[in-house]
Amino acid sequence: MKWKSFVTGIAVGAVSGYLVNEAVKSKTYISSDAVLSKVKKAFKEETTVEGSWIQIMKEDYEKFPIKTKIYRGGVTCRIGNERKQYEFIADAYTGTVVDVYPLS
């Protein structure tokens, strides 16, 4: 075997491995538990969290140009003497919260 062929094979293998790794990482979902923990941590910085929930099944989400998979969840917290409930939508790929809104 010639050194030129050997080095070319290693280079092609390394580049292919890198590209496959990036493709797999971009299509990997974050667990619903990790997303809920992240949301609860953010709420705990502002108030006391009394309860929380998250759907394990991912949903399709589309808002004009954005199409992704999401988790829906909710948090119950105490603000002063009032109990408030909030629902959130989080991106299933990144865990980023897309929207939070109060429930009446």
Q: Who wins on pLDDT, 37 or 14?
A: 37
Quote the pLDDT of residue 70: 95
| pLDDT score, position 3 | 75
In this prediction, residue 77 carries a pLDDT of: 93
**Average pLDDT of span 7-21:** 68
Label the pairing between strands 82-91 and 97-103.
antiparallel
Torsion angle of the four alpha carbons 43, 47, 53, 58, in this order, in degrees rounded to the nearest 10: -20
Q: What is the per-residue pLDDT across 17-75, written as a single tens digit (0 to 9) for each? A: 666 666 655 668 899 999 999 999 999 999 999 999 999 999 999 988 888 999 999 99
